[in-house]
Amino acid sequence: MNFLYDIGRVLLDFDFESSLSRLLPADCVDPRARLESLLERKDDFEAGKIEADAYIEWALGVMGSGASADQFRDAWRSIFTPNEPMWQCVRELSAKGHRLILFSNINSIHCPWIFENYPEFSLFDGAVLSYEVGAIKPHAEIYKHAFDAHRLDPGSTLYIDDLPENIAAGRAHGLHCWQYDLRDHESFEHWLGNFDL
C-alpha cells in the first residue's frame, strides 16, 4: 500500500506563536495580530514564489522586529514537537514494507532542516514538497505531481492530512483519506484497521 503523509499537525505538531513572539518588540500592543499578518505571504513562500531571504526581510519588517535573519530562522524552526503515536505507526508501516511519501505544504526554512534534525524522516521513500513543486495543497497541480512523480494509483493510496480542504481535494482525486486530529489518534488507528495491511 502507498501512503501520502502530511507533516504539520500529523507527524509534527507546531506552535508558531510561542516561538516567534520572542522576536516582537517589547511594546507591541497586539502580538497575535502582528504574527497573523505573517500569513499574508505564507502561501507564496510555501509555493516557492518567494525566496527565504526575501521572506525573512519582509517578515521582520511586518513584525517591527530588530532580530537578525539567523534569529528569525531559529525561531521559525523552533516550533515543532514530534507526534509520537503517529511516528510509532510510521515505524510499523515502514517495517511491513509499505511505501511512505511525504506530501506537505512547507518552505525552504523548514526543509531540509527538519530532515537533518528529525532523522526518522529517513523512513519515508520520497517527498512531494510544495516549495519544490511550485504549488500548494489543495490545488490540483500538487496532487497530480504526486501521482506522476511517484507513480501512485489513487485507489491503492491512503492519504493523511489535518486540513479539511486538503482532504476534500484528496477525495476528489480518488484517494482513501483520513482527516487527522492530534487529540484523537485512536480513531485514525481504527480507520487504518479497515485496510488489509
pLDDT tens, residue by residue, 115-165 = 999 999 999 999 999 999 999 999 999 999 999 999 999 999 999 999 999
The candidate with the shortest Cα–Cα distance to 128, out of 150, 158, 161, is 150
**Residue 177: its pLDDT value, please?**
98
Lookup result for grid cell 521572506: 55
List the 176-179 sheet strands across, edge first: 126-129, 99-104, 2-5, 157-161, 176-179
**Residue 39: its pLDDT value, please?**
87
**Residue 35: its pLDDT value, please?**
93
Within 21-155, residue ranges assigned H as helices are 31-36, 42-46, 52-63, 69-77, 84-95, 113-117, 130-133, 140-149
Q: Residue ranges of the chain with pLDDT lower than 50?
A: none
